[in-house]
Structure 1
């Protein structure tokens, strides 16, 4: 039985992982000021980063609609899908809607959508786990069971290097943000069990923040 792994483009895949597990992507879109970017293989990354640095507004992202997911589901008989946390994006809901649409066309198609309760690297770890289970030759039900347990046990922590976009988006006051930036304060953030992002700790400077991150990982086992 052939299996297909599908992710949204928030999943931080390397070229090697994408090729090893033959992963397909439904792209998000990003608006910065009056510029529009599609987060696919043709994304102008330098142009995007330059626009973000020079814009006074925070970038606005839009999840893939049901269409890109549906296009992919139609190509494969068995699809495992990993999306951004449904608390952070409509990507999960759109992937599920596309599943309902493709089942109306072909009831025998199998689609399992996993809510990552995370983003970026968290999605990557789930996609990697799926790839390993498929390579190990497990059947469909075993893959679903083991992946659901993996998602349940997974914890995501990260250090935010720049506060600029939090300030631009109004999620941090300008004065507070300027003070934190002046003193080089780096927040350590993490995903909650519900799939939202919360402040775990903070430190002055990237090296200390990384040490805090390692400490938190150790505490959580």
Structure 2
């Protein structure tokens, strides 16, 4: 059976996957002051980071319309379609995709469609997309793929460390006083996904120590790591991502480590120097 994997643009797919006919990316819109930036192949990360830094206001993202998903459902026939979106607790992208699936069926669409709430973002969405592709290539039926991926998602972990909390401060998610104290003390919170929400695991002074402690959490949480794929998404920090890959491979047995650069939505929230890991 033919297949198609539709992801929203918070899924930081490697370039070769973006060119693969089995994959399609539905873009979110990024808003900085009065400018709207479509998170598609035209996205310029460095220019975007500059805009966010210079803005006194909080940048934010807007989810795709259901029609953007429907367009992807309708341009293929006799195809199983799997959709992966941002956590429903962080964005309206999941609800838009679910509504699109319902509208598509009501209008007589014949392709099978399943929407996965990643309960994650960035590297987490990438990892789920990878797992879907592998399951399909193993010859599993549509229903078997859905069952496997739902189970996989339940056991997946997502962790991240940000270089700066300035974006969170501008968005009003962190008080000015707390942000100032964190910056002055060079404190880097270590955070993780928890059923689609964000929780703080701990904190360290300096990025190197924070990343080392993040590895400790990953190692403790990951079962059967020797058979797992781990994805590192970085925002404009390739050297940091490579160093982290080396440290992870020294700390634990892992089947494969994939490094990706963040696209628009992930660049907004991870911001310059941020690291996101999913396994």
CA–CA distance in structure 2, aligned partners of residues 101 and 82 of structure 1: 18
1:206 corresponds in structure 2 to 207
Q: Please say if 1:220 is aligned against 2:221.
A: yes
2:143 corresponds in structure 1 to 141
CA–CA distance in structure 1, aligned partners of residues 129 and 19 of structure 2: 12
In the alignment, is the contact (CA less than 8 A) between 2:74 and 2:109 conserved in 1? no
Q: Please say if 1:18 is aligned against 2:18.
A: yes
- TM-score (normalised: structure 1): 0.95
Shift of 1:108: 2.5
Shift of 1:21: 7.1
Q: Please say if 1:114 is aligned against 2:120.
A: no
In the alignment, is the contact (CA less than 8 A) between 2:29 and 2:63 conserved in 1? yes
Unmatched 5+ stretches in structure 1 = none
> What is the aligned counterpart of 1:126 among 122, 125, 128?
128
Determine helix, strand or coil for the equivalent of 2:100.
Answer: helix
Shift of 1:25: 0.7
CA–CA distance in structure 1, aligned partners of residues 60 and 20 of structure 2: 31
Unmatched 5+ stretches in structure 2 = 223-279
1:40 corresponds in structure 2 to 40
CA–CA distance in structure 2, aligned partners of residues 107 and 74 of structure 1: 7
1:55 corresponds in structure 2 to 55
- TM-score (normalised: structure 2): 0.76
Q: What are the superposed Cα offsets for residues 105-162 of structure 1, whole Å, 9 maximum, x if unpaired?
A: 2243210000001111111100010111122222212111111110111111111111
In the alignment, is the contact (CA less than 8 A) between 1:83 and 1:123 conserved in 2? yes
Q: What are the superposed Cα offsets for residues 145-180 of structure 1, whole Å, 9 maximum, x if unpaired?
A: 111110111111111111110111111111211111
How many residues align structurally? Answer: 220
1:67 corresponds in structure 2 to 67
CA–CA distance in structure 2, aligned partners of residues 183 and 160 of structure 1: 14
Output the aligned Cα RMSD: 1.3
Name whichever of 3-12 and 157-166 sits farther off: 157-166
1:197 corresponds in structure 2 to 198
Shift of 1:8: 0.3
CA–CA distance in structure 1, aligned partners of residues 21 and 122 of structure 2: 17
In the alignment, is the contact (CA less than 8 A) between 2:18 and 2:25 conserved in 1? no
Name whichever of 47-56 and 135-144 sits farther off: 135-144
